[in-house]
Chain A
């Protein structure tokens, strides 16, 4: 090849090389342009998200129930602690900090004020200047923060240790992705710098004194500590209706931030608070406001000091509730005055609720419940941190107690308020459905009348023997039956005449569902599902359930060496209907306790069918260690039968089901010294087995449904809603808590006409009218109400529901009573007010009179004082 040609080839290769480089530049600018533009912008600009204050929640009179307050936080930047040396000016004494890898500053700011130029800086102590601050120097700040001595340093040290751990993990991660040792050190150093530079919040809500101390720290005693501000949700009436107001918490992690940011990019910042329950959750995005944004650019020194643009945050909308805080507060007091001192279980808080709503519009006027907790206390944090799992169970309307103590939670608080079957966070107004008892009778009466089938009898002679609670009501008709709350009348109504009963069994569920029983109350209270109406349980195999319980037990406790010997008792079915998971959960706990307390490897599990009522089977589970004879020292616990109050039912059931005798023998054996040491008695109640099957009352439930027992459960809000329908002549209203949103009145949902015959409504109202005059609530004190107020009501007392029974702890009483009082009050020219009151107790009280007395006081306050005040002010209805 000629020399000339070779040179041409060389030159061509050079030109091609340059063309390739040019092409690469074009590729970076076009195909990857956006990526590099974004990276460059992130490098040059710093965008700070400005958190918007959440909107306020207030009652109808403007009393603030929840608001955001700006609080000071003490943050800690380990960088300044670890990587800073200090020098002090030998003229003015001000301490300067500089990075240990950079030379100290040459001049001091005091130079500007000094006539003599060039003040020299000298290190305070060259030997120790790279050391952290002596712990003792934090003493005054700790005192201002009301912290024990050494606590602040300990918190800072903990943070530094955490950073070290993260840096170490980063090193491992880099090693795992193939980074060389040479660069791993670089990566770790950068990670450490990044973490240490980022201020880490140590304390929130620090005092003004501490803020001043850190801000005016010229001597650098508190270097590394800085003051930040943040928004904190504050509840001025902290323990008012916490269950319905709900609570908020900060975003849990980056993953949650990213998930929410995808949905609501304008509203979420990394420090946002999110509504976790109640109204805070239901109206989270309306309350959240719109976040602001501040873009800063670097100055010549590379610091982000130049403001490029700023968009201030826009606060969230104010949520005005229709409830009256003052009346609700009074209702809380009255519930506490008239209610029991304790809740269902010894040592627990009293439990009950009162709710009232406008019977025409559905706007809620009073909302009170016990127990309460203060949303400003840490309990809210406990809920937000640990109860997210419970949300799932709430969806299923079943409470599964958390078995482990959450970190940072006081054990006493945990045992009292959290681990219990009826947890503190469940709203007694809208979230907890229990047997409505006799308050169900007006609804049963209306349902029977509305079915189109004539009543099987106009009058019924009540002997007072075959049903508990009846003490010889005499001959009663429908109205009188409601007034005196005759159990026999309504049990007979649902079961005596076969032809009529069958019609009722089919039509009553439909009627009640149309009325709102078993339905979610409204969109804003969607968190509270339908309550439970004719529970939806299905068949399951007992043997399989036992096997699964054992598997779970062994999985959770690998050291447990249990060889169960499972036998089915006489007449025990292969399958039972009920809540399978609940059954497994109980069985697992019982087995575990037996193993722990006896140490026996061989534990016998015996199951006996106690009752088979067709729609309901009750079984007994006997668990005992085999091969041991000393039973006496073991703890004894058993649950009493559910239908103790209905002895005749039991007797008839006992006659029909031979296994019933087992229970009697069981009790007898206890009396003889107890060979069975632990018995868990479970109710398995059966409703419809699938959605495909139309809802209907089963034959053996009929009598119970007639008196508001058996498979029937309802919440106070559902009962108040039903009462509103009676009060307004047969229109179903939707309970509405939010009156205004951002100052705009929220329209109420239109009432649904249920097409009731006014004559039927009149008959039921007549029966309810006499309840407070000469009926079951005649001694409740309603005579003190103003004369123009007419009260229609119904008392009720129901026994404990099965939903709670399984979670009782050993040694606790097991009988629980629900004292109901529901109805409505009318005043000429005004909308009627429907109400429902419930008090839960371990004691039987006369026909719910405690609730009736509390209601009388509340209505008296409302009609004598509050209604007029509200009319005169902006809080008028």
Chain B
């Protein structure tokens, strides 16, 4: 058996280009968050920069432990994640309408963000060493492992993060060789169940249903409805609608445009980017995301070890889905959910989570053990 690589070897073999792109997106985010911080109580740009530095450090630290060791500890991590989620429900702090944070000194930790990565690790490990997911019945375990944290996150309530786990599960299963027919049946059943749950009293919070209604009524001209119902979406679309091709730069004009945009430093940072740098900025961001995802997927393709592959695919899926949902909701393509834009939105937990995920992918790429999976998922 091949000896594990040393830290130095891993650092040497790590995909520095991928880390560079991740850092670039993050610094780009710092810039936009700084613009969004104008007129706010705190300088979120500076806070974001600090988290970027911490995140980079954590990312490099992740290289210290071979990813297979991490995968091996998946049950412990999973249990820890579940405990944290339970703690949130027990002693967590509320945001505007939800109970999502754990206070650790001056740091507010959002375990649901961390749980996204833990679930990817859990599923990567679980699927790697199981063959059951190729049967319909065998899908039950992966689903059960996903549903548990998902229900706990929904209970906070954080529907956006909870629903994000589903595409991650589906993609990982599909890539790992689950049959598309089985997954399709489950998806259809899930949709029907979701509709039934929506109309079942007591399952969804009123504000969660309200976001769906707001999404459906987003083109209403009723001012009262806009104010009471579509306040976030209306302002977000307004900022996007009035942005010019090259944006208004970092001056007063941009501030004038975005000053009434709520949560502009976190969930609604994409319209701020549009107002600041216009389509040029969008082009840069999309380009960076495209390159980033491409590099993560390239890592998955290069690695022959199945759990490493699944880790990379899982991370790519989480990041891609979250980016699309966040940007889509700010322009009215999805209902508003509290999902930050990866590497861009202000928020320590989110940034740290994605740097951990990035660290995992770097780890996978650096380790690259000479071990062949059974059938190579094919």
Contacts and interface: CB of A to CB of B under 8 A. Distances in A.
B301 A29 contact: no
Interface residues of A, number: 46
A17 B243 CA distance: 21
A7 B317 CA distance: 10
Interface string B174-209: 110000000000000000000000000000001101
Interface stretch (B26-34, B131-139, B142-150, B325-333): B325-333
Given A4-B301, A32-B241, A186-B227, 13 more contacts: A10-B171, A17-B324, A17-B328, A21-B328, A22-B282, A24-B332, A25-B279, A29-B241, A170-B224, A174-B224, A178-B213, A180-B206, A191-B224
Nearest to B234: A39
Interface stretch (B13-21, B57-65, B253-261, B353-361): B253-261
Contacts of A15: 290
Given A18-B289, A22-B286, A28-B237, A10 B228 contact: no
A36 B236 CA distance: 10
B103 to A, nearest CB: 22
B102 interface: no
Given A11-B297, A15-B290, A25-B274, A36 B228 contact: no
Interface in B217-264: 217, 222, 224-225, 227-229, 234, 237-243, 256-257, 259-260
For chain B, what secondary structure do more than half of its interface residues adopt (helix, strand, loop), or is it mixed?
helix
A179 B241 contact: no
Contact of B242 (A1, A2, A36, A187): A36
Given A14-B320, A36-B242, A43-B260, A183 B228 contact: yes
Nearest to B221: A35
Contact of B294 (A11, A25, A177): A11
B377 interface: yes
B300 interface: yes
B294 to A, nearest CB: 7
13 contacts: A6-B175, A7-B313, A15-B290, A25-B331, A29-B240, A29-B241, A29-B243, A36-B242, A37-B241, A179-B229, A187-B229, A190-B227, A300-B39
A263 interface: no
A33 interface: yes
Contact of B324 (A7, A14, A28): A14
Contacts of B297: 7, 10-11
B333 A25 contact: no
A7 B174 CA distance: 10
Interface in A25-64: 25, 28-29, 32-33, 35-37, 39-40, 43-44
B229 A21 contact: no
B333 A174 contact: no
Nearest to B297: A7
Nearest to B324: A17
A195 to B, nearest CB: 12
A28 B328 CA distance: 13
A43 B324 contact: no
Can you list the 5 inter-chain pairs with the closest CB atoms, starting with the nearest? A36-B241, A187-B228, A182-B206, A28-B241, A17-B324
Interface string B318-354: 0010001001100111000000000000000000000
A627 interface: no
A35 B332 CA distance: 15
B21 to A, nearest CB: 15
Nearest to A13: B320
Nearest to A14: B320
For chain A, what secondary structure do more than half of its interface residues adopt (helix, strand, loop), or is it mixed?
helix
Question: Which of A1, A33, A173 has the most chain B CB atoms inside 10 A of its CB?
Answer: A1
B357 to A, nearest CB: 16
A300 B259 CA distance: 10
Interface in A165-191: 170, 173-174, 177-184, 186-187, 190-191
A18 B286 CA distance: 7
B304 to A, nearest CB: 10
A44 B174 CA distance: 50
B45 to A, nearest CB: 18
Contact of B225 (A4, A7, A174): A174
Contacts of B279: 25
A44 B240 CA distance: 15
A137 B213 CA distance: 48
Given A10-B317, A29-B243, A179-B229, A302 B224 contact: no
Question: Which of B209, B210, B229, B378 has the most chain A CB atoms inside 10 A of its CB?
Answer: B229
B240 A25 contact: yes
Contacts of B243: 25, 29
Interface of B: 39, 171, 174-175, 206-207, 209-210, 213-214, 217, 222, 224-225, 227-229, 234, 237-243, 256-257, 259-260, 274, 279, 282, 286, 289-290, 293-294, 297, 300-301, 309, 313, 316-317, 320, 324, 327-328, 331-333, 376-378
A43 B327 contact: no
A40 B242 contact: yes
A20 interface: yes
A605 B7 CA distance: 116
Contact of A37 (B209, B228, B242, B282): B242
A21 B239 CA distance: 15
A182 B174 CA distance: 39
A3 interface: yes
B286 A43 contact: no
Interface in A814-837: none
Nearest to A11: B297
Nearest to B206: A182
Nearest to A19: B286
Interface string A138-168: 0000000000000000000000000000000
A182 B259 contact: no
Contacts of A170: 224
Interface in A316-359: none
Contacts of B229: 179, 183, 186-187
Contacts of B234: 39
B240 A184 contact: no
Contact of A40 (B39, B257, B331): B257
A25 B256 contact: no
Contacts of A177: 222, 225
Contacts of B294: 11
A185 to B, nearest CB: 8
B174 to A, nearest CB: 7
Nearest to A26: B279
B237 A36 contact: yes
B327 A36 contact: no
Contacts of A178: 213, 217
Contacts of B286: 18, 22
A183 B210 contact: yes
A5 to B, nearest CB: 10
A190 B224 contact: yes
Given A3-B376, A10-B317, A179 B228 contact: yes
B377 A3 contact: yes
Contact of A180 (B209, B313, B316, B376): B209
Contacts of B301: 3-4, 7
A24 B206 contact: no
A31 to B, nearest CB: 10
Contacts of B222: 177
A184 B228 contact: yes
Question: Which of A7, A177, A184 has the most chain B CB atoms inside 10 A of its CB?
Answer: A7
A170 B175 CA distance: 53
Nearest to B285: A18
B290 A35 contact: no
Given A10-B297, A36-B237, A40-B238, A302 B259 contact: yes
Interface in A277-335: 298, 300, 302
A177 B228 CA distance: 12
